[in-house]
């Protein structure tokens, strides 16, 4: 589950690097923004506009313990409409935010060096993070009714593994979005234009490819996937806090680097490897060291294959 999130969130980061040529450090806070926006919509729909709390508390996602996800019965099984609305709002809000940031912060300096864009993205990340803290508060909150999640026992060779509906939902959403992106990149004119621009921006511009449209599409796809990934991670994990995306950004970066910087498929595979490494490593080492174990795996694999799993291809 963790690996699917890293892969889904890493797609946008990889697309930004390959097409816009800079590492976007505000990507993690786009994940957080999408998660909060989606959960805000979920609280409002599940809360019935004041059935359990006033509208202000619902819009603030229960800031200060004013209302809890468990009391609203938030979950894929208990409030499917609220979760569906949350997924849509998470993606759309992240897209709108990314386009606004590009218009205000990135477009005016797009012709400068990648370092200028990178430093700007760090500033944008801090601004987003502390704006979220100011609006929604600093507290970590539980946002789902975890006890009401149906689960099934999947038989394996030496026992069974319990898989609940939230995990299945994350798998379905991630696979559908990744499959849709594959079809877009391989079967549409926009996908071909994006791959061409990733390979050689100057040549793409000379041949008449509308580069501004491609850049806008890159933000739409990358931010939309980031927002949905953030929301589905919260549904699966059950908790939400203001620096969640920032904490998860380094493993996402590791997934992108491991898969091959600029390769979208590499980001997906790299995410699965990093997620599995973090989860499986706790069999032998303390849980607090699982993140370090994932980075050790990344370093070892890069020593064997320095350009990444997908050989650093800049196209899909």
Are 310 and 256 in contact, with CB atoms under 8 Å apart? Answer: no
How far is it, in rounded angstroms, from Cα 27 to Cα 229?
A: 12
Winning range, highest mean pLDDT, from 45-54, 86-95, 237-246? 86-95
How far is it, in rounded angstroms, from Cα 113 to Cα 270?
A: 27
Q: Is 193 helix (H, G, I), strand (E, B) or coil?
A: helix
The pTM is what? 0.90
CA nearest to 2, candidates 229, 203, 155: 229
| Residue 187 DSSP one-character state | H
- pLDDT, average across residues 233-254: 90
Question: Is 284 buried (19+), middle (13-18) or exposed (0-12) by CB count in 10 A?
Answer: exposed
How far is it, in rounded angstroms, from Cα 176 to Cα 129?
A: 29
How far is it, in rounded angstroms, from Cα 284 to Cα 151?
A: 27
How far is it, in rounded angstroms, from Cα 201 to Cα 215?
A: 11
User: Per residue in 68-95, pLDDT tens?
Assistant: 888 888 988 888 999 999 999 999 999 9
User: Per residue in 117-144, pLDDT tens?
Assistant: 889 999 999 999 999 999 999 889 989 9
User: Per residue in 199-220, pLDDT tens?
Assistant: 777 788 888 888 889 999 999 9
Q: Can you give the pLDDT at residue 315?
A: 46
Are 105 and 117 in contact, with CB atoms under 8 Å apart? Answer: no
| Residue 22 DSSP one-character state | S
Give the 3-state secondary structure of 81-118.
HHHHHHHHHHHHHHHHHHHHHHHHHHHHHCCCCHHHHH
Question: What are residue 240's DSSP bridge partners?
Answer: 141
For the chain, give the mean pLDDT. 87
Q: Can you give the pLDDT at residue 99?
A: 95
Q: Which residue has the higher pLDDT, 54 or 34?
A: 34
């Amino acid at each position: 589950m963790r690996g699917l999130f890293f892969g889904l969130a890493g797609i946008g980061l990889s697309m930004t690097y390959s097409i816009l040529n800079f590492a976007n450090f505000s990507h993690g806070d786009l994940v957080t923004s999408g998660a909060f926006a989606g959960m805000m919509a979920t609280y409002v729909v599940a809360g019935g506009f004041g059935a359990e709390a006033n509208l202000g508390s619902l819009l603030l996602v229960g800031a200060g313990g004013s209302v809890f996800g468990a009391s609203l019965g938030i979950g894929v099984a208990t409030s499917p409409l609220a979760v569906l609305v949350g997924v849509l709002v998470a993606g759309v809000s992240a897209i709108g935010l990314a386009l606004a940031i590009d218009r205000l912060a990135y477009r005016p300096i797009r012709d400068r060096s990648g370092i200028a864009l990178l430093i700007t993205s760090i500033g944008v990340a801090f601004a987003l993070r502390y704006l979220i803290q100011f609006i929604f508060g600093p507290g970590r909150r539980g946002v789902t009714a975890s006890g009401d999640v149906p689960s099934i026992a999947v038989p394996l060779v030496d026992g069974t593994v319990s898989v609940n509906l939230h995990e299945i939902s994350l798998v379905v959403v991630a696979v559908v979005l990744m499959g849709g992106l594959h079809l877009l990149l391989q079967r549409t004119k926009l996908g071909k234009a994006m791959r061409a621009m990733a390979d050689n921006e100057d040549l793409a511009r000379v041949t008449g490819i509308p580069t501004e449209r491609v850049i806008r599409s890159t933000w739409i796809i990358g931010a939309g996937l980031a927002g949905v990934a953030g929301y589905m991670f919260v549904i699966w994990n059950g908790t939400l806090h203001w620096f969640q995306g920032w904490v998860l950004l380094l493993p996402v970066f590791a997934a992108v680097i491991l898969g091959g910087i600029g390769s979208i498929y590499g980001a997906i595979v790299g995410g699965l490897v990093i997620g599995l490494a973090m989860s499986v490593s706790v069999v032998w080492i303390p849980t607090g060291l699982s993140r370090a174990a994932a980075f050790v795996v990344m370093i070892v694999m890069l020593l064997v294959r320095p350009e990444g799993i997908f050989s650093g291809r800049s196209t899909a």
